[in-house]
């Protein structure tokens, strides 16, 4: 949990500053409504917690590859 805003608000603020930035979200909550909102914001992927280093690296690699196309 972020202390002053939630992740979706943070992503909106970042996208407002730099709309083409690639974002990956991570959440321990499986709220489908929030997941669809993240997709609408253009989030490349959502990592469910807990995840390991291998899964993180695979997700980052996938997001970078998708951004290049």
DSSP for 13-36, please give it.
HHHHH-TT---EEEES---HHHHH
Mean of all residue pLDDT scores within the chain: 91
- Looking up tokens 């499986």, which residue turns up? 30
pLDDT digits (tens, 9 = 90+) for 7-35: 899 999 999 999 999 999 998 876 777 88
Confidence (pTM): 0.79
User: 11: burial class by Cβ within 10 Å (0-12, 13-18, 19+)?
Assistant: buried
CA separation for the pair 49, 42 (Å, rounded): 20
H/E run at residue 46: strand 45-48
């Amino acid at each position: 949990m972020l202390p002053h805003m939630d992740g979706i608000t943070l992503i909106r603020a970042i996208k407002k500053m730099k709309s083409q930035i690639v974002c990956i979200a991570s959440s321990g909550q499986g709220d489908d409504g929030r997941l669809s909102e993240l997709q609408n914001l253009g989030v490349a992927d959502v990592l469910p917690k807990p995840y390991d280093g291998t899964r993180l690296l695979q997700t980052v690699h996938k997001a970078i590859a998708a951004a290049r196309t």
